[in-house]
Structure 1
Amino acid sequence: MTRVIHTGDTHIGYRQYHSPERRADFLDAFERVVADAVTDSVDAVVHAGDLFHDRRPDLPDLLGVLSALRTLDDADIPFLAVVGNHESTRGGQWLDLFESMGLATRLDDEPTVIGDAAFYGLDHVPESRRAQLEYEFAPHDADVAALVSHGLFEPFAYADWDTEEVLRASTVDFDAVLLGDNHAPDTAQVSGAWVTYCGSTERASASERDPRGYNLVRLGADASDGTDAVDIRRRGLETRPFVFLDVELAPEEGIDRVRDRVRERDVEDAVVIVRITGEGEPIAPAAVEEFAAERGALIARVTDRREIETETELSVSFADPDEAVRDRIGDLGLSDAARDVDEVVRGELPDSNVRAEVKRRIEGRIDGDDEERVNNDGDGDAPVGADAAADTADAVSDGSGADGPTDSQLTLGDSQ
């Protein structure tokens, strides 16, 4: 029997809410997974993509990952991984660099055998290029086979990839499909194979209310008490607390009622998400956020979704003006290409680089090489259990300033 930790969507380097503490939380969560792997003496750690949040990780994030991978290497625990959409580059991948250092294995169409199981990899592939895939995998002689991939597969939420077709067209019969991209953990059986998402290790969005964690997967003839060769069990991770407060205001209720709800909860060092509905008085989000901060909250965000009648109808979260802009752009029904251009124009690239970046992205789409740079945004209300379901782009450039990348920021070209 082979025991592996199946994790993914660690999004290391994500400066959520523009907070350095939240950025550190994402690396901390990955380090906890590694510590569990060493403590439990698993046979391998399998990462299903989006190790980094961005294709240009900052130096502290890169060094943190290297340290964690060396911890696994010292314990003789292989790190097997595929490339997700957030970290994908046109040339070499960071995963290739880790592999060249002997700290990782980039899974592909050749089997990587660990104990009784053969592991294969399928990196994230944009939907526009999937028709070209042939799903040809080299044969193996292990007891079971598992495919590791990154994307939105059926029958789960936001799916755009036909799992039955992948299994049918594959030249290897897979017993398990270990997935990343959807931040909500889930498991189903498709065409005789167990298909599972491990979920993200940290909350990359305010919509991700469930606890974070990873999967412990056992593969082999004696993996379970029955005849099944695959056993999948969920394990939780201790991460920074999020306090979700849904406050419905009755007529004539206002800020005092919201403050009472904040007082009822332990918000020390927590991210506090307040959503206001009902018919009460208008609320100034900044006043609620300041009150939560006084009670020890790390971050507070307030969203008031009530209809406020003015000369023109407005629905604005003053805590994050960018959110209002994103909401308005979403209402326009723009194409993916137009959203991509908007992301670049409103991003943090220096003006001198905007034209070249827009040209590069449009040419990439024309060539069918759409890298689908899709990002979760922790301030929004979109159901971003999946990376590719969220069309927000605010967090892509958190690691770079108005003058471009900081001195501590590396590209893969720098490493080469």
Structure 2
Amino acid sequence: MPETRLLHISDTHLGKRQYGSDVRRDDFADSFERAIKLAVDRNVDAVIHTGDLFDDPVPSLPTVMRCADALEPLEERNIPFYGIVGNHERKNNDQWLDLLRRTNAVTRLDRASTVVGDVALYGIDAVRPSVWDTADFDLEAPPEDIQCSILCMHELLEPPAEGIVADHPVEDVLERVNIDLDGLALGDLHQPKSTHVDGTDVWYASSTERCAKDQEETGLVQLLEIEDGDLTRRQLELETRPWAVFHIAFGENDSASHVQDVFDRRDLNNAVAKIELTGERGAVTANEVIRMARDAGAAVVSVDDNRGRVDIDVDSIEAMSLQGLDGAIEERLADEDFSAVALDVDGRVREGEGLNDSVSGAANDLEPALRDAQQAAFDEVETPDEDIDVPVTMEGDE
């Protein structure tokens, strides 16, 4: 049988306003579109997406529409798009993938085999930690002429994930599925890690956009080539916005000229500038650093002002070596079924972008959305037969 070629993409996080920036929201959509174009250019037989197509359970209508538009080139060339639901986008009932399926744009993978060439594809949506031990991992037996079976999941499994970041051992999955797997295609970890366990190739595709300051890899996808049952993978890189991640150490008498000297030695043109301020507090404010970074050409600026704080030894925190503390916090929050408002407020508070500098000012900024969410909660209690999802958009400065 001829070679079967699949493009594996994951963790596109459409709609993510990283650092409160509309520029970054567009970047995530642009990277997704580049991945789709790559699938078309490589003339693959299908695209598989292993979760977190969207960044949250209630994406905005423009985000969903742009996603549908991006998928049109696949439809025009009869290239199927197969996906599963990730923890960020997971809802209690119908999923956004189900809506896109009604437009013939995508197919949601499940425990029944979906055949592409001589490959059987399966999918299990992100499993809530509270039901992991009782979750059903049984898969339908593949057709007799199938040469390769691949299961798509959205989990943090060790290996390839490591230490505190991992939620479950990969052996647990391989023991609980009732068929032999040639490949376990994973999403959730935003790094391209892989391993072999008991004859099964296990790998993460990575994310299509840089999701955290300590994710040094640029946007990545995986090209899978299967021939006569042999599975090979090639990592392909997408063009993404450059990042400049650095710190500025302040002495007691350092002024704005010290900041400018640092900027003059770095290329911030059109970049995401993630800057940490350390050392002594002085006359230069964090807002002044943001303004100067923008003047130096940065498209997006986020500043962590840690001046005057006591250093803490975090060498023992293994999560720092993978997704970072922010990434680990986001993954845990996504598993807890918080509302879109709660997640948005948490992200804005931790990132600090787009909020008033004073406590009372920040509270005033957040109050309208919180009141709307409170009213929606009361309305839901009064009409328990209705499933109400309240999309909330909270704009901040870029």
- Please state which band the TM-score falls in when normalised by the shorter chain: 0.7 to 0.9
Structure 1: distance between partners of 2:171 and 2:282: 52
The answer on whether the counterparts of 1:252 and 1:280 sit within 8 Å (CA) in structure 2 is no
CA displacement, residues 24-51 of structure 1 (integer Å, 9 cap, x when unaligned): 1111110000000000101111000111
The answer on whether the counterparts of 2:57 and 2:90 sit within 8 Å (CA) in structure 1 is yes
Deviation at 1:61, TM superposition (A): 1.4
| 2:193 aligned partner | 186
| 1:146 aligned partner | 150
Map 1:123-142 to 2 at 5 A. Answer: 123-140=125-142, 141=144, 142=146
The answer on whether the counterparts of 1:14 and 1:398 sit within 8 Å (CA) in structure 2 is no
| 2:175 aligned partner | 168
Residue 354 (str. 1) matches residue 355 (str. 2)? no
Letter of the 1:240 counterpart = R
| 2:32 aligned partner | 30
In structure 2, which of residues 200, 205, 227 is the aligned counterpart of residue 198 of structure 1?
205
Letter of the 1:151 counterpart = E
- Higher mean C-alpha displacement, 50-59 vs 144-153: 50-59
Deviation at 1:337, TM superposition (A): 7.0
Deviation at 1:150, TM superposition (A): 0.7
Structure 1: distance between partners of 2:80 and 2:61: 23
Deviation at 1:251, TM superposition (A): 7.0
Deviation at 1:278, TM superposition (A): 4.7
- Match of 1:83, SS state, is coil
The verdict on how the C-alpha distance between 1:272 and 1:337 changes in structure 2, with shifts beyond 3 A counting, is closer
Letter of the 1:353 counterpart = A
Structure 2: distance between partners of 1:220 and 1:132: 36
The verdict on how the C-alpha distance between 1:283 and 1:338 changes in structure 2, with shifts beyond 3 A counting, is farther
Residue 399 (str. 1) matches residue 398 (str. 2)? no
Deviation at 1:339, TM superposition (A): 8.4
| 1:267 aligned partner | 268
Map 1:2-151 to 2 at 5 A. Answer: 2-140=4-142, 141=144, 142-151=146-155
The answer on whether the counterparts of 1:153 and 1:159 sit within 8 Å (CA) in structure 2 is yes
Structure 1: distance between partners of 2:221 and 2:308: 39
The answer on whether the counterparts of 1:249 and 1:279 sit within 8 Å (CA) in structure 2 is yes
Structure 1: distance between partners of 2:148 and 2:375: 50
The answer on whether the counterparts of 2:58 and 2:391 sit within 8 Å (CA) in structure 1 is no
The answer on whether the counterparts of 2:251 and 2:279 sit within 8 Å (CA) in structure 1 is yes
The answer on whether the counterparts of 2:341 and 2:373 sit within 8 Å (CA) in structure 1 is no
Deviation at 1:305, TM superposition (A): 2.6
Structure 2: distance between partners of 1:295 and 1:181: 34
Structure 2: distance between partners of 1:5 and 1:86: 22
Deviation at 1:356, TM superposition (A): 5.7
Residue 285 (str. 1) matches residue 286 (str. 2)? yes
Structure 2: distance between partners of 1:301 and 1:283: 16
Structure 2: distance between partners of 1:188 and 1:360: 46
The answer on whether the counterparts of 1:251 and 1:279 sit within 8 Å (CA) in structure 2 is yes
Letter of the 1:343 counterpart = A
The answer on whether the counterparts of 2:20 and 2:395 sit within 8 Å (CA) in structure 1 is no
Deviation at 1:233, TM superposition (A): 1.8
Residue 240 (str. 1) matches residue 241 (str. 2)? yes
The verdict on how the C-alpha distance between 1:282 and 1:72 changes in structure 2, with shifts beyond 3 A counting, is same
The answer on whether the counterparts of 2:14 and 2:53 sit within 8 Å (CA) in structure 1 is yes
CA displacement, residues 331-372 of structure 1 (integer Å, 9 cap, x when unaligned): xxx9x97988993795663415327649989xxxxxxxxxxx
- Higher mean C-alpha displacement, 183-192 vs 137-146: 183-192
Deviation at 1:114, TM superposition (A): 0.6
Taking structure 2 as the reference length, the TM-score comes to 0.77
User: Aligned-pair RMSD on alpha carbons?
Assistant: 3.2
Percent identity over paired residues: 34
Structure 2: distance between partners of 1:279 and 1:30: 42
Taking structure 1 as the reference length, the TM-score comes to 0.74
Letter of the 2:49 counterpart = H
CA displacement, residues 278-328 of structure 1 (integer Å, 9 cap, x when unaligned): 56857421111111111221122222334348xxxxxxxxxxxxxxxx99x
| 2:317 aligned partner | none
Q: Which runs of no fewer than 5 residues in structure 2 stay unpaired?
A: 311-324, 346-365, 382-389
Structure 1: distance between partners of 2:198 and 2:251: 51
